[in-house]
A and B are shown apart, each in its own frame.
Chain A
Amino acid sequence: DAGVIQSPRHEVTEMGQEVTLRCKPISGHNSLFWYRQTMMRGLELLIYFNNNVPIDDSGMPEDRFSAKMPNASFSTLKIQPSEPRDSAVYFCASSLGSRQEPYEQYFGPGTRLTVT
């Protein structure tokens, strides 16, 4: 299995620009999570999808952040407009969510975002 795929791996952009991060979960997984990781705050959950439907977006920092999951094999996280404080590593994770593997999550390699 290819695992969770994220693109791009690195993104450098200027303040005010739109940024789109992409994720392909593991085939057959029905749950998808977007996280942000910084030294100061650790790993923070931004949004959780189940069967392509957003279930909990309470972790999304503000209206500048939005996420979509148009089908079971693709999700995007968009920041518009971006700000320097958005600089972080963004991870996508997926989970089977079955009783055999309750909530064990499989992470992608992350996208390192730098906003200047």
Chain B
Amino acid sequence: TQLLEQSPQFLSIQEGENLTVYCNSSSVFSSLQWYRQEPGEGPVLLVTVVTGGEVKKLKRLTFQFGDARKDSSLHITAAQTGDTGLYLCAGVRDSNYQLIWGAGTKLIIKP
């Protein structure tokens, strides 16, 4: 059973389009992290959201943590080819070192 469900699993769109990736769970997390992984590299942390309802922006990327801290979304505006990669969400439980990982969304931005 996947504790963190990511959707879609795969997304291929044209450069310039907008997209949203979702990360959902029935469990509450104390914080949630988003990572991007490029081919041949390890995941790189993009952002951590901590407070329910929190919104963080990283240039064209907007991250939101659900009010109940059970879900999160990543919205990319005017996608660029450099956004191509595997996007992973990871949840942190209270008093627990271990990250609960989603399976990832593979994003391809076509020129």
Contacts and interface: CB of A to CB of B under 8 A. Distances in A.
Give the bracket for the number of chain B residues in contact with chain A.
10 to 19
Interface string A66-89: 000000000000000000000000
Interface string B67-101: 00000000000000000000010001000011101
Contacts of A48: 97-98
B41 A43 contact: no
Contacts of B101: 42-43
Contacts, number: 50
B33 interface: yes
Q: Chain A binding site: helix, strand, loop or mixed by DSSP?
A: strand
Nearest to A91: B42
Interface in A1-25: 4
B48 interface: yes
Contacts of B43: 43, 91, 105, 107
B44 A104 contact: no
Interface residues of A, number: 23
A104 B48 contact: yes
A102 B31 contact: yes
A97 interface: yes
A103 B99 contact: yes
Contact of A105 (B40, B41, B45): B45
Contacts of A91: 42-43
Interface of B: 30-31, 33, 40-45, 48, 88, 92, 97-99, 101-104
15 contacts: A42-B102, A42-B104, A43-B43, A43-B104, A45-B98, A48-B98, A95-B97, A102-B92, A104-B45, A104-B48, A105-B45, A105-B99, A109-B40, A109-B41, A110-B41
